[in-house]
Chains A and B, each alone.
Chain A
Amino acid sequence: MRVAKLFVLAVFLMIALTVAPAAAKDTIKVGAILGVTGPASFLGAPEAKTLEMLVDDINKKGGVKGKKIELIIKDSSASPEKAISFAKQLIEEDKVFAIIGPSTSGETMKIKNIAEEGKTILLSCAAAEVIVNPVAKYVFKTPQKDSDAVIKIFQQMKKMGITKIGVLSSNTGFGKAGKEQIEKLAPEHGITILVNEVYDKAASDLTAEVTKLKAGNVQALLNWSIEPAQSIVIKNARQIGLDVPIFQSHGFGNIQYVQAAGAAAEGVIFPAGRLLVVDELSKKDPQEAVLAKYKKDYETKFKEDASTFGGHAYDALMILVKAIENAGADKEKVRDAIENMKGFVGTGGVFNFSPEDHNGLDINSFEMLTVKNGKFSVLKK
Chain B
Amino acid sequence: MELFFQYMVAGITYGAIYSIVAIGFNIIYNTTGIINFAQGEFVMLGGMIAVTLNNFMPLPSAILATVLITMIIGALIEMIFIRWLVNPSVLRMIIITIGISIIIREAALHIWDEKVRALPYFTGTEVTSILFFGAHISPQVLWVIGICSVVVVLLNLFFNFTMRGRQMRACASNRNSARLCGINAKNMVTLSFVLSAGIGALAGCVISPITYVHYDSGAPLAIKGFTVAIFGGLGNSMAAVVAGLILGILESFSI
List residues of A whose CB falls within 8 A of some B CB.
36-39, 41-42, 45, 197, 202, 204-205, 207-209, 211-212, 214-215, 228, 231-232, 235, 238-241, 256, 260-264
- Residue of B11, B207, B211, B217 most packed against chain A (CB within 10 A): B211
Tell me the residues in window 207-231 of chain B with beta carbons closer than 8 Å to chain A beta carbons.
Answer: 207, 210-212, 214-217, 220-221
How many of chain B's residues have a CB under 8 angstroms from any CB in A?
38
Structural contact, A205 and B125, CB atoms closer than 8 A = no
Closest to A304 in B: B115
Q: Contact between B255 and A263 (Cβ–Cβ < 8 Å)?
A: no
> Please, which residues of chain A bring their CB within 8 A of the CB of B9?
207
Interface centre among A41, A209, A211, A235 (most CB of B within 10 A): A211
Q: Are A239 and B127 in contact (CB under 8 A)?
A: yes
Q: In the complex, which residue of chain A has the Cβ closest to the Cβ of B105? A: A37
Q: How far is the CA of A213 from the CA of B199 in the complex (A)?
A: 35
* CB neighbours of A261 from chain B (8 A): 126
A205 lies within 8 A of B210 (CB): yes
Q: What are 8 A-B contacts with C-beta separation under 8 Å?
A: A36-B114, A45-B113, A205-B14, A207-B10, A207-B252, A212-B255, A228-B214, A240-B135
Judging by beta carbons under 8 Å apart, are B114 and A41 in contact? yes
Cross-chain contact of B3 among A45, A215, A238 (Cβ < 8 A): A215
Shortest Cβ distance from residue A59 to the other chain B in the assembled complex, whole angstroms: 26
Residue of B125, B221, B253 with most partner-chain A CB within 10 A: B125
Q: Contacts of A241 on B, CB cut-off 8 Å?
A: 129, 136
User: Contact partner of A208 among B137, B220, B255, CB < 8 A?
Assistant: B255
Which residue of B is nearest A243, CB measured?
A: B127
Query: A45: which B residues are within 8 A, CB to CB?
Result: 113-115
Alpha-carbon distance between A261 and B14 when the two chains are bound, in angstroms: 19
Structural contact, B114 and A211, CB atoms closer than 8 A: no
Contact A208 B7, beta carbon cutoff 8 Å: yes
Interface residues of B in 163-180 (CB under 8 A from A): none
Closest 8 CB pairs of A and B: A41-B114, A207-B10, A204-B211, A208-B252, A262-B126, A208-B10, A202-B220, A238-B127
Residues of B within 8 A of A256 (CB): 115-116
A46 to chain B, nearest CB (A): 11
Interface contact B138-A239, CB-CB below 8 Å: yes
B109 CB within 8 Å of chain A = yes
In the complex formed, the residue of B with least CB distance to A195 is B255
Question: Which residues of A lie under 8 Å from residue B3 when comparing CB positions?
Answer: 211, 214-215
Q: Taking the nearest CB of chain A, how far is it from the CB of B18, in angstroms? A: 10
Specify which of A37, A42, A208, A215 is in contact with B11 (CB 8 Å cutoff): A208
Q: Quote the shortest CB–CB distance from B203 to chain A (angstroms).
A: 12
A231 and B212: CB pair below 8 A?
A: yes
Which chain A residue has the least Cβ–Cβ distance from B113?
Answer: A45
A239 and B136 in contact (CB under 8 A), knowing A211-B10, A262-B125, A264-B127? yes
Are B255 and A37 in touch, CB under 8 angstroms? no
A38 to B217, CA, bound (A): 10
Chain B residues 128-152 with CB under 8 Å of chain A are: 128-129, 135-138
> B7–A211 contact, CB under 8 A?
yes
Interface centre among A208, A212, A231 (most CB of B within 10 A): A208
Kindly list chain B residues whose C-beta atoms are within 8 Å of the C-beta of A264: 126-127
Q: In whole Å, how far is B122's beta carbon from the nearest beta carbon of chain A?
A: 14
Name which residue of chain A comes closest to B214, CB basis. A228
Q: Are B115 and A41 in contact (CB under 8 A)?
A: yes
Residue B70 lies at the interface, judged by CB distance under 8 Å to chain A = no
Tell whether, in the assembled complex, residue B126 and residue A240 are in contact, meaning their CB atoms are under 8 Å apart. Answer: no
A204-B210, A214-B3, A232-B211 known; A263-B252 Cβ under 8 A = no
Q: A263–B13 contact, CB under 8 A?
A: no
Rounded to whole angstroms, the CA-CA distance of A348 and B183 in the bound complex is 68
Complex Cα–Cα for A152 and B70 (A) = 48
In the complex, what's the smallest C-beta–C-beta distance from A163 to chain B, in angstroms?
23
User: With A204-B221, A211-B10, A260-B116 given, can you name 6 additional A-B contacts, CB distance below 8 Å?
Assistant: A37-B114, A205-B210, A208-B251, A232-B212, A239-B136, A263-B127
CB–CB B116/A240 < 8 A: no
CB distance A39 to B216 under 8 Å? yes
Residues of A contacting B135 in the complex (Cβ-Cβ under 8 angstroms): 240
The smallest beta-carbon distance between B115 and chain A, in angstroms, is 6
Distance in angstroms from A37 CB to nearest chain B CB is: 5
Q: Tell me the complex Cα distance, A359–B129, Å.
A: 44
Closest chain A CB from B207 CB (angstroms): 8
Q: Is B52 an interface residue (CB 8 A)?
A: no
| Pairwise interchain contact B17-A204, C-beta atoms closer than 8 A | yes
Residues 99-133 of B contacting A (Cβ, < 8 Å): 109, 113-116, 118, 125-129
A210 to chain B: closest CB distance in Å?
9
Please name all residues of chain A whose beta carbon is closer than 8 Å to the beta carbon of B10 when the two chains form the complex: 205, 207-208, 211
A-contact 0/1 string along B28-53, CB 8 Å cutoff? 00000000000000000000000000
On chain A, the residues within 8 Å of B156 by CB distance are: none
Say how far B245's CB is from chain A's closest CB, in angstroms. 14
A202 to B42, CA, bound (A): 18
Q: Which of B185-221 contact A (CB under 8 A)?
A: 207, 210-212, 214-217, 220-221
How far is A100 from B212 in the complex, measured between Cα atoms in Å?
A: 30
Query: Does B54 touch A at the CB level, under 8 Å?
Result: no
Evaluate contact between B212 and A260: CB separation under 8 angstroms.
yes
Task: Indicate if the CB atoms of B211 and A263 lie closer than 8 Å.
Answer: no
Name the contact of B13 in the complex, choosing from A42, A207, A209, A215 (C-beta under 8 A): A207
Cα-based distance from A211 to B249 in the complex (angstroms): 13
The residue on A at minimum CB distance from B220 is A202
- What is the distance, in angstroms, from A161's C-beta to the closest C-beta of chain B? 25
